[in-house]
Amino acid sequence: MELSGAEIVIQCLKEEGVEYVFGYPGGAVLHIYDALFKQNDVKHILARHEQGATHAADGFARSSGKPGVALVTSGPGATNAVTGIATAYMDSIPMVVLTGQVPSPFIGSDAFQEVDTVGITRPCVKHNFLIKDVRDIASTFRKAFYLATSGRPGPVVIDIPKDVTDPNVKIPFSYPKKMKMRSYNPVTRGHLGQIKKAVDLMLAAEKPVFYTGGGVILDNADKELVELVRSLGFPITSTLMGLGAYPGTDKQFLGMLGMHGTYEANMAMHETDTLIAVGARFDDRVTGQIAQFCPNATIIHIDIDPSSISKNVRVDVPIVGPVRSVLEDMLQVLKESKKSPQSAAVSKWWKQIEEWRGKRCLRYDQNSGIIKPQFAVETLYRVTRGDAFVASDVGQHQMFAAQFYQFDKPRRWINSGGLGTMGFGLPAGIGIQLAHPDAEVAVITGEASIQMCIQELATCKQYDLPLKIMLLNNGYMGMVRQWQEFFYDGRYSHSYVDSLPDFVTLAESYGHVGMKIEKPDDLEGAMKEAFAMKDRLVFMDVIVDPTENVYPMIEAGKGHHEMYMSPGSELV
Amino acid sequence: MRHIISILIENESGALSRVAGLFSARGYNIESLTVAPTEDPTLSRMTLVTRGDEAIIEQITKQLNKLVEVVKLLDLSDGPHIEREMMMIKLKADNGRRDEIARLVDIFRGKVVDVTDSTFVVELTGKSAKLDAFIKAAHEDSVVEVVRSGPLGIARGSKGLKL
């Protein structure tokens, strides 16, 4: 079979089982777009901005576990995609991004729409390639997909000069079956000696706590995690990225930890004697001040990436390996062990935790005449029976969603945790809905975030994607406003979002259904009505209390035990 | 603490900038970096000198290992090893000083590799400290130009950093 470079690109995507490519055409990728046009296996979703295309590919990947694929042109196409690539990189999301490049003889000449894509993306990809020869396309694609999806996943960029995809140059095509790279050998099993040591520590623990992160979800290790945590009877807390790996409604679950974590989760971290970190990376939003982090704990850390271990916090028992296989081995070691956990001490520990829980740190004013954002998220939870896919943007609404929508399943909570990319939610929702056509997909956003990628409402219309957008409209960049209230004496410098559009008519002008909801009593009815419109995108502009803050809160650089609690809750 | 790290890396365009970029992005220092292809032309060998406490060096080696193109890596400072740096130094050598410089070159076991009526180019190999000592001995005002390779290193003993 003789194929042109452009045809080989499409053929490689088919070989990798790629169903959707999220993209935006341009000069350098015209040959590829022509090859796309001539086939029906790989479906192309036209975004309205390259950032939207990469976030959509990312949302597809996060919700399905399959690699997301984006296709953009050279120059501004590639630079627009960088935010999406960096977002995926920070959260270790498997993605392959194809960028067009000017024809190879022009590289380095400051040609029209030329940028050094490989150079610009280098610090925010797992790896990147510049293809210089049509004969290298197939092997490069095989490597790219292998790299993106194995070990610690991440985005891989393939930069393809236009002449490499020339339709007139045809070569025989074959796709490499097995991929082995001498310089890249991700660990496939954890060290059994270390695992045994960890299990011994867990069985001797008097105040243990599990601290789990996005790695559990990335490695599909939720079942093993649940089995291990239940069999030990230990409390468990999760990072923002790990929510849903362990059922949020389970009584052993303490809620999220960290800057806006629950009182019980953060206090448990502060008092624990044995911390079991699973697929989490000790991010500064989780640890607070390092010197005060888990001061009494022996720390066990399971992670696929050796460089995550002892990067921010020194750990005592490192276990490098895929989370799922390590947890399987732990369960096996536990079964074979004749010992059982320190049940008397652990039940005493639970008594202490229940006391902390009794403070009900997430309490908010239920009798407010104005809609509280927490109430809006709780209503969404009820209306969707806690079973929707929820994409979020970044800010207060993201934290309220993480605190109040109790995710019982993995891959349901889709947000930009590491990079904190405003504008992520709506395009991510596109990817989620395509990966799960029959599922309910909600986008929780704010009036500032949504405007960063609002153009993707057109994409939703073109492909009939019935997202349900819940805009928590408080007229402010809420999280900025909150920090200005706390740390800048209420000088609200440029955090008021003036001149807002009328979101209802805006949604309607894109061909969707718009709703404005202003009273708490109207919320549930309106939301039910919205979700009943199975085949329509409904944009709910929910006017919420502009003064509400996210509590509890640990100021940057403070310890877990130094939380601000909501006014009215018992002060610590 | 000063560390000297040997790296076997795929001999591909961009590999060097990945290493250099890693150091600047993560705020680590590179004191020196030398690189050249090995006897296997698909591989390059780098020798990198850096400084940092134990935790930083641990992160540096882990982050380097994480680069897809890095095949193997060894912190030579972990064991006995040999370090050599090469220097070429151009010195003013007018009539009155030619003998003195020739003697100095002899003492340091260097070689004069270029001679004009007013200058010598001296080639010298050794530990970095020896090169420093030569420059000092040669008097500051007689030095026209100095070029140094940065240290190369190899571990003592029978083991080799190979594929």
**Mean pLDDT, rounded, for A158-163:** 98
B37 pairs with which residues across the strands?
Answer: B44
Task: State residue B163's pLDDT score.
Answer: 85
**Mean pLDDT, rounded, for A196-211:** 98
Three-state DSSP state, B8? strand
Residues B10, A310: C-beta atoms closer than 8 Å = no
Tracing tokens 């970029």 back to the chain, one arrives at B21
**Mean pLDDT, rounded, for B104-110:** 96
Give the separation between CA A502 and CA A516, rounded to whole angstroms.
9
Give the separation between CA A8 and CA A231, rounded to whole angstroms.
50
Give the separation between CA B4 and CA A560, rounded to whole angstroms.
39
Is the pLDDT at A483 greater than 90, yes or no? yes
Interval A411-459: pLDDT, tens:
999 999 999 999 999 999 999 999 999 999 999 999 999 999 999 999 9
Min Cα distance B62 → chain A (Å) is 5
- Angstrom distances, CA of residue B42 to CA of A159, A183, B8, B11, B16: 22, 12, 10, 5, 14
**Mean pLDDT, rounded, for A365-383:** 96
Measured over the CA atoms of residue A105, residue A109, residue A113 and residue A115, the dihedral's sign is positive
DSSP secondary-structure letter at A369?
A: S
Is the pLDDT at A571 greater than 70, yes or no? no
A47-51, A464-468, A513-517, A559-563: which has the minimum mean pLDDT?
A559-563
| Residues of B in Cβ contact (< 8 Å) with A130 | 13-14
B35 Rama class: left (phi>0) / alpha (psi -120 to 50) / beta: beta
Interval A84-116: pLDDT, tens:
999 999 999 999 999 999 999 999 999 999 999
pLDDT band, very low/low/confident/very high, at A570 (cuts 50, 70, 90): low
Instruction: State the catalytic residue, choosing from A241, A470, A477, A479.
Output: A479
Whether residue A74 contacts residue A47, with contact meaning beta carbons closer than 8 Å, is answered with: no
**Mean pLDDT, rounded, for A204-225:** 98
Burial state string for A168-183 with b = 16 or more CB within 10 A and e = fewer than 16: eeeeebeeeeeeeeeb
Task: State residue A134's pLDDT score.
Answer: 98
Interval A112-130: pLDDT, tens:
999 999 999 999 999 999 9
Residue closest to B68 by CA, chosen among A183, A143, A154: A183
Interval A486-516: pLDDT, tens:
999 999 999 998 899 999 999 999 999 999 9
Give the separation between CA A297 and CA A447, rounded to whole angstroms.
42
Is the pLDDT at A572 greater than 70, yes or no? no
**Mean pLDDT, rounded, for B41-56:** 96
Query: Is A113 in the active site?
Result: yes
Three-state DSSP state, A10? helix
A161 pairs with which residues across the strands?
Answer: A101
Task: Look at chain A and count its residues.
Answer: 572
- Residue B43, chain A, CB below 8 Å: the answer is no
Give the separation between CA A8 and CA A140, rounded to whole angstroms.
11
Min Cα distance B2 → chain A (Å) is 20
ipTM above threshold 0.85: yes
Interval B111-156: pLDDT, tens:
999 999 999 999 999 999 999 999 999 988 899 999 999 999 999 9
Three-state DSSP state, A108? coil
| Residues of A in Cβ contact (< 8 Å) with B13 | 130
Task: State residue A178's pLDDT score.
Answer: 87
- Angstrom distances, CA of residue A67 to CA of A18, A64, A98, A220, A387: 8, 8, 13, 14, 23
Interval A302-323: pLDDT, tens:
999 999 999 999 999 999 999 9
Any alpha helices (H) in A150-221, and if so which ranges? 192-204, 214-218
Q: What percent of chain A has pLDDT over 70?
A: 99
Contacts of A139 (CB under 8 A, 6+ apart): A176
Task: State residue B73's pLDDT score.
Answer: 96
Task: State residue A569's pLDDT score.
Answer: 62
Is the pLDDT at A568 greater than 70, yes or no? no
